[in-house]
Structure 1
Amino acid sequence: MSTIFTEDSYDYSALTSSYMGIFYSQKFEQFLKTTQTGYAHSTSGIEFSFLFKTVFTSLCLCTIQLTFFCFFRSIFKYIYQPRCYCVPVKERMEPLPRGFLSWIAPIMQTSIYFYLSMGLDAYFFIRFISILLLYFIFIGSMNMIVLIPINYTGSDASYSAVGLDRLSLSNIASSNVRRLNAHFILGLVTIALFHWMLLYELQSFVAIRQSYLLSARHKDSIQARVLLISNVPTHLQDIEVLNEIFGVIPGGIRTIWFLYEFDKIECDVERAKKALEVLEISQIKYLNNYIKRNIRRSCFSCFSSDNDKLDDLIEELHVSRFEFQESSEPMFYPPIYVESIRIPKLERRIQITLPGLLRILIFQRKVSMVKWAVEALATKLEEIDAQKRQLVEGKALMYKKVFIEFNTQTGAYIAHQCLLSQNQGSVDSSLIEVNPQDILWHNLSRNNSYACLVEKYVVTIVFISIMILYVVPVSFIGLVSQIPLLVHLMPFLSWIYRFPEEARETISSFLPSILLTILTEIVMVTFRFLTYFKGKLTGSELEIDFSKWYFAFLFVQQFLVVTISSSITVIFKQIVDQPTSIPVLLATNLPKAATFFFQFFALKAFAFCGANFMRIDQLILHHSLYPLKDVTPRQKFRRLTTLPKIKWGTVYPVYSVYACIGIAYSIISPLISLFIIFILSLVLLYYKYSLKFIYSHINVSETQGRLYPLALLHLYTGVYCLECCIIGIFFLSKSEDGNSPMRLQGWFMVVVLLTTIFGHITIYNRYSKHFSYLPILTDKKFKDESIVQEHKSKMGQSKVTQSPEEGKDNENYSQHQLLYVHPAFQFENPKVWLPVDPLGIAERQILRIEEMMPGLQGGVTKGATVTFGKSYRQIKVRISEAPPDYK
C-alpha cells in the first residue's frame, strides 16, 4: 500500500448546488453538481505515451507557427520588427539578420541591462524570468537526480503507482517509508535556496531601483519632483498659501497646478477630433470618386500601367477636374451625440455616442460630410477657446486635488512621507512619481466621498464573487471533454462520431484548454475594467492593484481548484470546518494532480510560443481590415506608429503562479522542473525579442519596478503549499506495522513553516518602505556597493531613450505650465492633412476648406502621397512624415 493514508472524501455537492439552483434542469444536473475531486485527478497515472502524444501534437502546431514566423519575419517588417521602422530615427533598433534562424543568437546575446532603457518594469521582468530559470535549473537538477531514482524504486510487491506517477513521491510504498528522509532534506534545501534567492533579489532590487531613480537623468525630470496631493480644502487652494505651507520643505516649490473641471472641454475636444477625421475621410473619398468617374468616362480601364498612358490620364483628368460638381461630394449619416448622464453620488459621467446609421429609423437623410464636419469643427473650436479663456481668467471650477512641483527630488519625497495635516480627511493622501500621461483623470476629479468608498468595496466583493462563481462556466466547458455526455445533451452534435477516435480524443483534450484560456482572458478583461472603479488615480497604481487580484484568481483557479476541488467553496468550507486539515487536504490531493501539470505546462509553452511569435491576428488584420480602415494619412500614420504596449500588471502574475506551482511540486514530483524550465526558456526568448523589436519603448504606466518585489513575495504561496503538503505527507505516512516513522520530521517541518511565516513578515517589513520611498541618507558603504556601480555603468552603456515626461524641462514656459493640466486644455486648432495627388486636387480642396473655415489655416499635403492600384480604380495612401500638427 502507499505510504499516504487517504480518508474518505466528504460530499459537498449540496453546497455547490445551492447557488446553482437557478440552472434547474435534469439534463444539466449531472455536470452542475460539482464534486470534491479536482479535475486534475483525472490525469493521475497516465502513461508516458499519452503525454508524448499530447506534447507532440502541440509541438507540431507550434513548429508550424514558428516556421511561418521565421519566413514572414523579414517580409512583413512592420508587423514583426516595427521598432526598426515605425519610430523616430534616433530610437530605432538595428534590424535583425534576414536568415531563417539567424535571429535567435542575437536575441539570446542581448544583455539584460539593455532593457533598462525601457524602464524598470521591463528590466525586472526579464530579470524575474531569468532568476526563476536559474533557480529551477539548480533545484530541478538536484531534485531530479536524487529523488526520481528514489521514487522510481520506491515500490514493492504489494504496491506500485502507475504511469508517470512512478516518478513521483506517490510511488513510495509503506515498506520504504524512510526514503522520505531524502525528500525532507531536499525540501529544506529547496526552501533555504528560495530564501537566499529572495533576499539577494530584494537587496538587488533596492540598489538598482534607487540608483535608477537617483540617476541624473531621472532625478532632474519633472516627474521625479511632482507630488499629487488629494483632499485639499478650498481655503488651501491658493498659490501663496501653499507656498507658505511647503516653504519648510528643503528646496521649496517651483510650480503648482490645480485640477480644473474638464468634462465639457474633454467632450468638445473628442467631437472636434471626430469632425476632423470625417473631414479628411470625405476628401479622400472625394478624390477616389473623382478618379473613378473620370476613368469610366475615358474608358481608361483598358489601359496598361505604362507611364505614357498614365501621363495621358493625368492630362485628361486635369482638363475635366472642374467639371466635377460639389454634388458629387460624399454623404453620410453623422453620429448621434447623446447628452452626458451624470451620477451625482458616485461623481461619474457617462457619455454615449450612437452610430449615425440609427438615423435611418427616424427617416433622416444623409448630409454632406464636408459641410457637417466644417460646421461641427467650427462650433467646437469656438467652445474650446471659450473654456480655455475661462481657465486663464480663473473662472474654471477647481477640484480638491493639486500637483506641486518641488525644486528638488529630495523635497518631493520628504513631503510625500510627511503627514501633511492634523485634520482627518484633509490633505491626507499624496502620490509621487506621477506621469502626466498616466493620470486617470475621471478618477482624479472625484472626491473621497462615502459613495466612492462603497463603490470600492463593492468592486472587491464582485472580484470575490467572480472567483467563487467561476465554477459555473467551467462546468459547461467540462462537457467538451466528455463527448458521450455532450452528444446526449445535444443530439445535433452526433456528427462528431464521424471523426476517427484519435481525432475525437484530440478534440476532447485540446478544446477544453482553448475554451478555458478564452474564459480566463474574459475574466482578466473584466478584472481590469472593474479595477478602474476602485478609484486609482494613475495607471501605475491600477497595475499594482490589478496584479494582486489577478494573481489570487489565477492561483485559486489554475492550481487549488484544479488540484483539490472543482469548486472553491468546497475548499473554503473544509478550511473553516477544520483549519488544521490544510496539510492533509494538500497531501491527499497534490500528488494525484502532478501529471496534469506536465501536460498543462507543455501545452502552455507551445501555445504561447507559437501564437505570440506568429502574431496571426495582426497578420490577418494587416491584409484585411486595416487597408479598409486606414482611409486617411493620419489614420495610417497613427496605426503604424502606435506600437503595442504591455500591461505589466497582467504579465507578472501569470509567471508568479507558474513558479508557485513549480515550487509546490518540486519535491512531490521533481519532473515538474523540466517543464517549468522549458516554458520559462521560451518565455524569456519571446520577451527578449518582442521588447526589443515589437513593443513600445515608452511605458506611461511605469511602476518604477514595484511589481517585481510583489511578484517575488507572491512566490511564498508556492512555498507554503510545499511545506503544508510535506507536513501532511509526513504525518499521514504509515509503515508496514502501522506506525508513523516520519512524525518527528513532520513536527520539524511545522517549525520550518512557522519560521517561514515569521521570515515572510520580517522580510516584508524590512523592505516594504524601499518599494515606494527613496533614502535621504546614503552612507558611503551603500554607494560603494559593487552591484550599484555595475548597474550604473551598464545603464550608461545601454541605449537609453528619454521619455516625453522626462524631456519637458527643455520645453518653453507655456508648455511647462500646461504639463499637469488636463490634455483637453492643451488642444490646439488642427491642420488638415491630405496626400499629394498628381492632379493637385488635394491642394485645391485644402484652399476651399480654409475659405469655408478660417480657423483651419495651415493644411498641408507634405508627407503623404497618393498611388494608384493596378486598374487605377482605387487609390492608396503612402506616408513618409508625421502630420503637420503632430506632437
Structure 2
Amino acid sequence: MASLVGERATHAFLVPRASASSNTGSHRDSGSSVSALLSTLIPVLAVSAVLFIAFLIFQKKYERVYGPRTYLSSLRNWQKSPKRTAGLLGWKSEYQQLKDEFVLGHSSIDNYLWLRLFKMLAIMCFVGAVITWPILFPVNATGGAPGVNGLDILSFSKIQPGPRYYAQVFVSWMFLAFVMFLITREARYCLRLRQQYLASPYEKSRISNKTILFVNVPQEARNEEYLRKEFSDVKHVWLVSVPEDLAKKVEERDKAAAKLENGEIKLIKNHIKRENKRAKKEAKGKLEPRRVEEGREHIVNVEQKDRPTHRLPKLKFLPIGKKVDTLDWSRGELHRLIPDVAKEQNEARTDKSNVGGACFIEFESIYAAHTALNQAGLKNKAKLTPKDIGTPPQNVIWKNAVKPFAKFQLFNILCSAFVWFLCIFWTIPVAVIGAISNINYLTDKVPFLSFINHIPKVILGVVTGLLPVILLSILMTLVPIVCNILAKLYQPTQASVQMKVQGWYFPFQVIQVFLVTTFASGASSVVTSIINQPSQAPTLLATNLPKASNFYISYFILIGVNTAVMQLLQVVPLLFVLFLGKLLDTTPRKMFNRYVNLAGLGWGSLYPVYTNLGVIALSYSTISPLILGFAAIGFTLLYAAFRYNALFTLGTTVSTNGRSYARALQQLTTGIYLSEVCLIGLFAIGVGQTNQAIGPLVLQVIWLVATIVWHVWLNRSLKKMEQTLPEDEVVERIAQQNQDVEKAPNGESTKAVDSLDGRNDSIVKHPSTDNPNNERGFIGRVKGYFFPSTSASTAIWSIAPHLTSPVREYTPKEREEAYMHPAIISDPPFVWIARDKYGLSKQEIEASTKEVGEGLEITDEGATFNEKGKVEWNQEDVKSAPLWEDEVVY
C-alpha cells in the first residue's frame, strides 16, 4: 500500500518545489498514513482471528489433521513426536518444550533447515530494527524535505541531499555487516550439518547415500567391468535401461487392476443400496420376502443395472468409444497382461543389449562415494557426469536419466528461455497490480478514473492496499506450476527438479514481486509531475521510490499473519476429513493411502517466495527501515506456524539433503547487493543537487566492492569445506564421547560409538546441545553461535537418537533390485475390496481369480461395508491392512 487514504492535499508533493506555492488541486496526500495501514491490517487480523479460533476448535477433534506424527502407527517409532495434549494449553506446552533439533532427529534435515530459515530471517530483521530505528528514524524525520507526510517521514524520502547521507551509509554498513556474518555462519553451519548428518550411522548405512547417479555415460563405459576400473571401492553397479514397451504394459496392467478394484467396490455398493431399498419395501409389505431354497449353494444375484461400465477411448484422454462392462473388461486385460508382463520382466533382467546412458554406482562407504564424486566432477561434463547422490530409487525420473547430454542441454536452454520469457510477459499484469497501489495519483491524467477521488477512505485503503496484494498472490501461484512441469521434462531426479525450480523461481520472484512492483508503484505515484516537468524525474523518483516500501508493509502483514494461520488450520486436509474424503475416498486403498501418508513440502516453489521476502526486507532496510519491524513479526509468525507443522503434521516427500537451504542463503545475498545499489543510485541523484553527497557515494561504492570480495571469499571457503567429509572430526568426537561417558554420573549418558561401520553405533546424549564444549549458560550459547561447524556436529550427535542406529540389513533381493527400473521389478497388482454381509465380495473374488488366472491377488480382508453401503477399515491397526508392507529404506 503506497498511498494516503482520503486526505486532501495541494500539488506541493506532486510538482517541482519551485512551483509548489502556485499550484493547488484536489489530489489526495501522498504520504502513507496510519489509517491506510490499518485498512490493510484490520481485515487481515479479523479474518486470521476467525481462522485461528477455528484451528483451536478443530485441533481438539481431528487428530489425524493436527497431530498425525504423535500417534500414526505407520511411522517408525523414531519418527513420532510426543503425544499432543488436546486443548490450547496442552499443545502450547508441548510445542514450547520441544526443540527445533527434534525435527532433525525425527523427521528430516530439510524440514529442520526450513524452520531455521525463518528463525534466521526473523533474527536478521529484528537486529536490523534494533540497529536502524534509533538512528535513522530521528535522522529521517528531521530531514527537511517538504511535501512528505504520514509514515513516509520515517524513510529516505524525508531527507534532503547532504550530510545526513552519512547516517545512511554507516548504519547500512553496520546492518549489512551483521547480515554477511549471519549468512556466513549459516552457510558453514548448513554444510557441516549436512556432512555430519550423512556421517551418522543411520544415514551412512542407507544405500542411496553411498550411490551416485552418473549420466551421459559413453557407449564404451556401459559395462560393469569398465566402471569398476574407472572408480575404486565400488560395491555395486546398476546399468540403467528403460524398457518403454514393458513400462507401457505395466502401466496398462496396473490401470486394469485399478479399474477392477473400483468396479468391484461400485458393484457391491450398488447391490447393497438395492437390497436396502428392497428391505424397506418388504418391511412396509409392498414386496414379499425373498425365498431361499435349502440344500442349494447360495448365489448372490446381481442386477445388470448394478454392474459398472465405462467407455474405451478412441483417442487418448477422450472416453468416447465403445461401452464395455468394467469387470469383464478388467479381468480380460489382466488375464492377457499379467503373464505377458512377467515374461518380459524375466527377459529384461538379463538383457544388457539395451542399456541407456546412465548408471548407478554404490560405493563401499559414504566417504568413498564423495571422493568419487569430487574426482568425477573434474572430468569432461559431457561424459560420465555425476548428477546426483543420495537419491532413493522412488525419486528417480527414469526416462530423463538416459537422455543424451546434447538433448539435456537443449531442454535446459529452451525451458530456461521460456521461463525468462514468462518473466518478461508477467511484467505487464504485475505492473498493473503495482500501479493499483498508487492509482489515486493518476486521476487527473486519466479522466475515467476521477471517480476514485470520491471513494470513501476505508474502501480506497482496501483497494490500494489489500487488493493488489491478493491479486499478486493469485497471479504468482501459476508460475511454480509451470516451472515444475518444465523441469520434469528433462531433470533425472525429483531432487534436481526441486533445485531447478528454485533456481528459476527465485529470480522470477525478485523481478516480478519486487522490482517491477516497486518501480511501478513508485513511478505511478509521480507520473503526473514527471509529465509536467521531465527534468525533475530523477529527484521525484529518489523521493518517491522509497515510498513503494509501503506496499510491502501490507505484503508482510498478509503473508505473515494470514499464511501463518492458514498453515495451522491445514485447510485441505481438514476439508478431506470433513467431507471431501467421503466423496473421493471410496475404496479401502484410497482410505489407507490418505491415512498413512504424510504430506511434504515442495522446496523448489516455497523457498523462493520466502527468500524473496528476505531480499525485500534487506533492500529497504536502510531507505525505509520501518519495514524491518513488520518483517520481523511476519517471519516470527511464519516460523511458529511451520514449526508446529514440522513437529506434528509434516512428512518429507522429496529430500534435497539441505541443498535447497544452502541455495537460499546464496540467493539472500541478492538483497545485500540491491540495498547497496539502491543507496548508490539515490546518492548519485543527490550529487546532482549538492557536492555534499559525493562522500557518501564514494563510501558506499567502496562498501559494494568489499561485499563482492566477501562473497568471493565465502564461496571459495565453502567449496573447500565441501571437498571432504569430516571423517577425522567424527572419530575425534567418538573418542571425546567415550571419555564423557566415563566421567558422567549414571543415567546421564549412554555408551558411545564402537565403530564407524554404521552397524553398532550409538551416540551420547549430552546435557547441553547448543555449544561445542558442552558448556552451559550464556557463554556456552555464545560460543555455540560463533562456532557453527562444531555446533552443527553437536546437533547431530546429541539430539537425533534415531540416527544412532543403522537401517535394517537389506535382503539380497532388495539390494539387487535397488536401482532397477520399476517396470522390471514391479509385482503383479494387488486388488483390495471390502467384505459385505451378502457374500458378494467372496463371489466376486472367486470369479476374478478364475477368469484372470495365476498372478492376481485379490482379497476382502481388513475392510467392510456398513449397513449404509459405506466402506470402513480398521485405522487403529494399520499393520493388519493387506496393503501394509515393511517399506525398504534405500
Instruction: State whether TM-score is above 0.5.
Output: yes
* Cα deviation 1:666-693 (Å, max 9, x = unaligned): 2222211110011101110111011122
Is 2:261 the counterpart of 1:280? yes
Instruction: Please say if residues 864 and 872 of structure 2, whose CA atoms lie closer than 8 Å, have aligned partners that are also in contact.
Output: yes
Partner of 2:45: 59
Instruction: Please say if residues 44 and 596 of structure 1, whose CA atoms lie closer than 8 Å, have aligned partners that are also in contact.
Output: no
Q: Choose the corresponding residue for 1:729, options 682, 706, 709.
A: 682
Is 2:885 the counterpart of 1:884? no
Rounded to whole Å, the distance in 2 between the matches of 1:96 and 1:546 is 35
Rounded to whole Å, the distance in 2 between the matches of 1:133 and 1:549 is 25
- Give the C-alpha shift of residue 314 in structure 1: 14
Partner of 2:135: 146
Partner of 2:712: 761
SS in structure 1 opposite 2:421? helix
Q: Which amino acid aligns with 1:149?
A: P
Partner of 1:233: 218
Rounded to whole Å, the distance in 1 between the matches of 2:607 and 2:589 is 35
Rounded to whole Å, the distance in 2 between the matches of 1:877 and 1:655 is 41
Rounded to whole Å, the distance in 2 between the matches of 1:442 and 1:48 is 57
Identity over aligned pairs, percent: 25
Is 2:662 the counterpart of 1:709? yes
Q: Choose the corresponding residue for 1:110, options 98, 115, 121.
A: 98
Rounded to whole Å, the distance in 1 between the matches of 2:857 and 2:43 is 59
Once the two structures are superposed, the pairs formed by residues 467-506 of structure 1 within 5 Å of their partners are 467-474=423-430, 502=458, 506=462
Rounded to whole Å, the distance in 1 between the matches of 2:146 and 2:520 is 26
* Cα deviation 1:323-361 (Å, max 9, x = unaligned): 5147355131245386xxxxxxxxxxxxxx4243x22xx
Rounded to whole Å, the distance in 2 between the matches of 1:317 and 1:57 is 72
Instruction: Please say if residues 637 and 879 of structure 1, whose CA atoms lie closer than 8 Å, have aligned partners that are also in contact.
Output: no
Q: Choose the corresponding residue for 1:682, options 637, 644, 668.
A: 637
Partner of 1:172: 159
Partner of 1:839: 838
Instruction: Please say if residues 586 and 724 of structure 1, whose CA atoms lie closer than 8 Å, have aligned partners that are also in contact.
Output: no
Partner of 1:336: 313
Distance of aligned partners of 1:59 and 1:416 in 2 relative to their CA distance in 1, 3 Å threshold:
same
Q: Choose the corresponding residue for 1:426, options 383, 399, 409.
A: 383
Once the two structures are superposed, the pairs formed by residues 787-826 of structure 1 within 5 Å of their partners are 791-792=792-793, 794-796=795-797, 798=799, 807=807, 810-826=809-825
* Cα deviation 1:124-174 (Å, max 9, x = unaligned): 22112112212221221231122213322333xx72521111122222346
TM-score, length-scaled by structure 2:
0.80
The size of the alignment, in residue pairs, is 787
* Cα deviation 1:707-761 (Å, max 9, x = unaligned): 22221222221111222222333344479xx643232232111111111112111
Partner of 1:50: 36
Instruction: Please say if residues 300 and 838 of structure 2, whose CA atoms lie closer than 8 Å, have aligned partners that are also in contact.
Output: no
Distance of aligned partners of 1:707 and 1:842 in 2 relative to their CA distance in 1, 3 Å threshold:
same
Distance of aligned partners of 1:745 and 1:638 in 2 relative to their CA distance in 1, 3 Å threshold:
same
* Cα deviation 1:442-461 (Å, max 9, x = unaligned): 21121223x44222211111
Once the two structures are superposed, the pairs formed by residues 642-681 of structure 1 within 5 Å of their partners are 642-681=597-636
SS in structure 1 opposite 2:253? helix
Is 2:252 the counterpart of 1:271? yes
Rounded to whole Å, the distance in 2 between the matches of 1:132 and 1:421 is 36
Q: Which amino acid aligns with 2:156?
A: L
Rounded to whole Å, the distance in 2 between the matches of 1:583 and 1:431 is 49
* Cα deviation 1:644-685 (Å, max 9, x = unaligned): 210112222222211111112222222111100111011101
- Give the C-alpha shift of residue 634 in structure 1: 0.8
Once the two structures are superposed, the pairs formed by residues 570-581 of structure 1 within 5 Å of their partners are none
Once the two structures are superposed, the pairs formed by residues 573-592 of structure 1 within 5 Å of their partners are 587=542, 590-592=545-547
Distance of aligned partners of 1:722 and 1:332 in 2 relative to their CA distance in 1, 3 Å threshold:
same
Rounded to whole Å, the distance in 2 between the matches of 1:627 and 1:52 is 41
Distance of aligned partners of 1:245 and 1:162 in 2 relative to their CA distance in 1, 3 Å threshold:
closer
Q: Which amino acid aligns with 1:185?
A: F
Rounded to whole Å, the distance in 2 between the matches of 1:855 and 1:124 is 49
Q: Choose the corresponding residue for 1:354, options 300, 317, 334.
A: 317
Is 2:276 the counterpart of 1:295? yes
Distance of aligned partners of 1:629 and 1:165 in 2 relative to their CA distance in 1, 3 Å threshold:
same
Instruction: Please say if residues 115 and 122 of structure 1, whose CA atoms lie closer than 8 Å, have aligned partners that are also in contact.
Output: yes
Of stretches 769-778 and 618-627 in structure 1, the one that deviates more from structure 2 is 769-778
Q: Which amino acid aligns with 2:811?
A: N
Distance of aligned partners of 1:757 and 1:264 in 2 relative to their CA distance in 1, 3 Å threshold:
same
Distance of aligned partners of 1:588 and 1:687 in 2 relative to their CA distance in 1, 3 Å threshold:
same
Q: Choose the corresponding residue for 1:438, options 395, 398, 401.
A: 395
Q: Which amino acid aligns with 2:865?
A: V
Rounded to whole Å, the distance in 1 between the matches of 2:100 and 2:538 is 40
Partner of 1:200: 185
Of stretches 143-152 and 86-95 in structure 1, the one that deviates more from structure 2 is 86-95
Instruction: Please say if residues 336 and 354 of structure 1, whose CA atoms lie closer than 8 Å, have aligned partners that are also in contact.
Output: yes
SS in structure 2 opposite 1:229? strand
- Give the C-alpha shift of residue 407 in structure 1: 1.3
Rounded to whole Å, the distance in 2 between the matches of 1:600 and 1:336 is 48
Instruction: Please say if residues 833 and 863 of structure 2, whose CA atoms lie closer than 8 Å, have aligned partners that are also in contact.
Output: yes
- Give the C-alpha shift of residue 253 in structure 1: 2.0
Rounded to whole Å, the distance in 2 between the matches of 1:132 and 1:479 is 29
SS in structure 2 opposite 1:819? coil
Partner of 1:324: 301
TM-score, length-scaled by structure 1:
0.80
- Give the C-alpha shift of residue 797 in structure 1: 5.1
Q: Which runs of 5+ in 1 are unaligned?
A: 9-40, 304-311, 339-352, 569-581
Is 2:110 the counterpart of 1:121? yes
- Give the C-alpha shift of residue 428 in structure 1: 4.2
- Give the C-alpha shift of residue 79 in structure 1: 2.4
Distance of aligned partners of 1:509 and 1:597 in 2 relative to their CA distance in 1, 3 Å threshold:
closer
Rounded to whole Å, the distance in 2 between the matches of 1:316 and 1:797 is 72
Q: Choose the corresponding residue for 1:219, options 204, 211, 214.
A: 204
SS in structure 1 opposite 2:871? strand
Instruction: Please say if residues 477 and 512 of structure 1, whose CA atoms lie closer than 8 Å, have aligned partners that are also in contact.
Output: yes
Instruction: Please say if residues 43 and 596 of structure 1, whose CA atoms lie closer than 8 Å, have aligned partners that are also in contact.
Output: no
Q: Which amino acid aligns with 2:837?
A: P
Is 2:410 the counterpart of 1:454? yes
* Cα deviation 1:547-590 (Å, max 9, x = unaligned): 1221111111111111224799xxxxxxxxxxxxx999985554
Q: Which amino acid aligns with 1:277?
A: A
- Give the C-alpha shift of residue 59 in structure 1: 0.5
Rounded to whole Å, the distance in 1 between the matches of 2:261 and 2:854 is 16
Once the two structures are superposed, the pairs formed by residues 398-413 of structure 1 within 5 Å of their partners are 398-413=355-370
Distance of aligned partners of 1:278 and 1:615 in 2 relative to their CA distance in 1, 3 Å threshold:
same
Partner of 1:637: 592
- Give the C-alpha shift of residue 47 in structure 1: 0.8
- Give the C-alpha shift of residue 591 in structure 1: 1.4
Distance of aligned partners of 1:537 and 1:144 in 2 relative to their CA distance in 1, 3 Å threshold:
same
Rounded to whole Å, the distance in 2 between the matches of 1:752 and 1:497 is 45
Q: Which amino acid aligns with 1:61?
A: V
Instruction: Please say if residues 43 and 593 of structure 1, whose CA atoms lie closer than 8 Å, have aligned partners that are also in contact.
Output: no
- Give the C-alpha shift of residue 766 in structure 1: 1.8
Q: Choose the corresponding residue for 1:550, options 505, 509, 515.
A: 505
Q: Which amino acid aligns with 2:518?
A: T
Q: Which amino acid aligns with 1:448?
A: F
Rounded to whole Å, the distance in 1 between the matches of 2:660 and 2:326 is 48
Q: Which amino acid aligns with 2:113?
A: F
Q: Which amino acid aligns with 2:614?
A: A
Q: Choose the corresponding residue for 1:512, options 458, 468, 483.
A: 468
Q: Which amino acid aligns with 1:51?
A: L
* Cα deviation 1:101-139 (Å, max 9, x = unaligned): 543343243211112132222222211211221222122
Partner of 1:253: 234
Distance of aligned partners of 1:597 and 1:789 in 2 relative to their CA distance in 1, 3 Å threshold:
closer
Instruction: Please say if residues 211 and 788 of structure 1, whose CA atoms lie closer than 8 Å, have aligned partners that are also in contact.
Output: no
Partner of 2:859: 860
Is 2:195 the counterpart of 1:210? yes
Partner of 1:71: 57
SS in structure 1 opposite 2:358? strand
Q: Which amino acid aligns with 1:469?
A: F
